[in-house]
Amino acid sequence: MSRRVFVVGAGVAGLAAAVEAQRRGARVVLHEAAPHAGGRCRSFFDAKLGVTLDNGNHLLLSGNQSTMAYLRAIGATGTLIGPTQPEYPFFDVATGDAWTVRMSPGRLPRWIFDAETRVRRRLVELAETYEDGVVPLTQEDIAAMAGTSRATVNRVLREEQKLGAVALARGRTSVLDVAELRARCGYGRMT
Ligand SMILES: Cc1cc2nc3c(=O)[nH]c(=O)nc-3n(C[C@H](O)[C@H](O)[C@H](O)COP(=O)(O)OP(=O)(O)OC[C@H]3O[C@@H](n4cnc5c(N)ncnc54)[C@H](O)[C@@H]3O)c2cc1C
C-alpha cells in the first residue's frame, strides 16, 4: 500500500513537493487555504482591465534549480520566455531612470577581472556619492580604488568623454550620464 502524504500550501513549494511525492509513489493530499493555487506566484484575471495579470514581477533565474526541476516535472519548461543573455532591463516610471542588470554568465563574477569595468563601476559609485556627480578625485585615486593603473582610468575616462557620459576639467571628473555609464559597466548594477 502506498503512503499518504499531506502537503500544506499550494504555492510553488507545495506544488513541487506534491508532484515529487506523487512521482515517488505516494498518494498526495494537497491542502490550500486560498481559493486558488500558486500562492505568491500566480496570475489572476482582472475584470476591470479584462486581462490576466501576474500578481507581481517574477524573474526566474536559470540557476534556480529547484524551480527548473519542477517546471521539467510538469512539462512547462517550454512555456518560459526569456532573454538570450542573462540581463534584465528596468525602468523607473517615477524618475525616468532606465538601467539593465547584467549577470555574469556562470558562477564566477568575471567582471572583477576586467579593469575597465571596475573603473566604470567605481565611477558610478562615486558619482552617486558626490553632489551633482562631480568626483573630486585624481585619476590616481580612482585607479587605486579600482585596483588598476592610471593609464586604464585615463583610457576609460577619454572614451566616456567621447560618448558624452563624463566631462573632464581641472582634475575633476563630472559624470553627466550615470545611466549610460552604468549601462557600460558590464555586469550588475551599482546601487
Ligand atoms: C510581488 C512578488 C514578486 C516576487 N518576485 C519574485 C521574483 O522575481 N523572483 C523570485 O524568485 N521570487 C519572487 N517572489 C517570491 C516568490 O513568489 C515566492 O518566494 C514563492 O512564490 C514562494 O512560494 P512558496 O510555495 O514557498 O510560498 P507561498 O507562495 O507563500 O505559498 C504558500 C501557500 O500556502 C498556503 N497556506 C498557508 N498556510 C496554510 C494553511 N494553514 N493551510 C492551507 N494552506 C496554507 C497559502 O495560501 C499559499 O498559497 C515574489 C513575490 C511577490 C509577492
User: Taking the complete model, does pTM exceed 0.75, yes or no?
Assistant: no
Residue 30 dihedral angles phi and psi, to the nearest 5°: -105, 120
Q: Which three cell numbers stand for residue 119?
A: 573603473
* pLDDT averages per 10-residue partition of the chain, 191 residues: 91 96 96 95 93 87 88 91 77 80 72 89 91 92 95 96 92 88 67 44
Please tell me the predicted confidence (pLDDT) of residue 190: 46
Residue of 58, 62, 90, 101 with the most ligand 1 atoms within 8 Å of its CB, for mutation = 58
Please tell me the predicted confidence (pLDDT) of residue 191: 44
How far is it, in rounded angstroms, from Cα 182 to Cα 188? 9
- Domain spans, the chain: 4-82, 86-191
Class of domain 86-191: mainly alpha
Distance from the alpha carbon of residue 10 to the mean position of ligand 1, in angstroms: 9
Sign of the CA dihedral running 92, 186, 145, 140: negative
How far is it, in rounded angstroms, from Cα 121 to Cα 145? 10
Distance from the alpha carbon of residue 131 to the mean position of ligand 1, in angstroms: 41
Give the dihedral of Cα atoms 148, 154, 156, 162; nearest 10 deg. Answer: 180
**Domain over 4-82 is classified CATH 3.40.50.720:** yes
Please tell me the predicted confidence (pLDDT) of residue 187: 53
